A = this chain, B = another copy of it.
C-alpha cells in the first residue's frame, strides 16, 4: 500500500496537516513531535506524491525542454548540460523532440505548457519569432527561454554571437591567404546570422561574394558528405570552405577524401560548434567554439531566477537576452601545421577568444 500523509498521521493519531508541516520544516510543530514524525517517515520510506503536491502548490518543479533532435551531437551536448544544471536547481526535465517540425514544436509547447511544467526551454537553430509559436508562448504566463537563436525583444534568449563567430572563421581563412572561400549549409535569408557574417566578412576583405559558392544543405554528416562533390565542381575551385556546422564539416572532409582531395593541403575547412568529435574527426577540425555549458547555465539561471521571484512575490526580472562570445579553435583542417608539433598524445587546442566580451542586454517587457 502506498504510504501517504494520512497514513503517516494515523500512526500518531494526529492530523495530516501536522505531518505536512513537520516534513516541510515549517515552524509550528513541537520539536518532539516533529522528530518523531520525521523518524517514522524515514523508516517507512515516505515519498511525497509529486502530483498531489503539484496540484496544491501549482508548481511542478519541472521544466519542459523542446529540442529539434537529440542524435545530433550539438543538440546532445547542449541537452546534456541543460539537464545537469536543471538538476542542480532541483528541476526535473520533460523532454520533447520535434524533428525540426514546426507543427510538432507547437504541439510540444501546448502539451508542456498547459500547467504541467513551470517553465519551458526551446532549443532551436533557426529563426525564432515565427508568429504561431510566438503567440502560443505569449498566451501562457510561464517563463520560457530560447536557446541557440536570438528572439524578439520580449523573449528571453541565450545564443552564441553567430555573426562574430563566422567572421572569425572567415578571417582565419583570409589570414592564411585564402581568397576563394565557399560555404556549405548557410541559409540565404536575412535572418541567418551566419549568412550575414559570411557576407560581411568577405566584403570587409574586398572579396567577391559568389552565389554559386554558397552551397545550401541541412545539418548532417550525410549532407555534408554529399556537398563535397558540389564544391569540387565549382570553377574556379574554392581553396577553402566554411561549413555552417561541424557535422557538415566532418561529412565534407570525408567526401573530399573520397574524391582524392586532401584537407588541408588541397582545400581548407572551418566548422562551427566545436562538438566533441570535431577533435577526433580524421583531420582534427578547426572550428568556432560555442560555449554550450555556459549557455545551458545561463538558460537555467534565467528560469530559476524568474521562478524564485514569482514565488517570493517579488518583481519579476526583465527579459534577458544573452549573446555569448564564440572562440576560434585552431586544429588541423585549415593547415596551421606549419609549426613543429611535439608528438604529445593530447588533442591539440589553440584557443583564440574573440575580442568582445559577453554581452548582455536587459530590456523591459
Residues of A bordering B, CB below 8 Å: 2, 45, 47-52, 54-55, 60, 62, 65, 69-73, 75-77, 79-80, 83-84, 87, 92-97, 99, 110-112, 114-116, 139, 221-222, 225-226, 228-229, 250-251, 254-255, 258-260, 276-277, 279-284, 343, 345-347
Select which of B70, B228, B258 is within 8 A of A80 by beta carbon: B70
Most chain B CB inside 10 Å of its own CB: which residue of A75, A77, A92, A225: A92
Excluding A49-B115, A259-B345, A280-B281, 18 further A-B contacts by CB distance (< 8 Å) are: A48-B114, A49-B116, A51-B51, A51-B115, A65-B95, A70-B70, A70-B76, A71-B77, A83-B97, A92-B94, A92-B112, A94-B94, A95-B95, A229-B345, A250-B277, A254-B279, A258-B343, A281-B281
Q: Which residues of B contact A112 (CB under 8 A)?
A: 92
Q: Which residues of B contact A83 (CB under 8 A)?
A: 70, 95-97
Q: How far in angstroms is the closest Cβ of chain B from A41?
A: 13
Known: A95-B83, A111-B92, A114-B47. A347 touches B283 (CB 8 A): no
Known: A84-B97, A280-B250. A52 touches B55 (CB 8 A): yes
Select which of B50, B71, B225 is within 8 A of A114 by beta carbon: B50
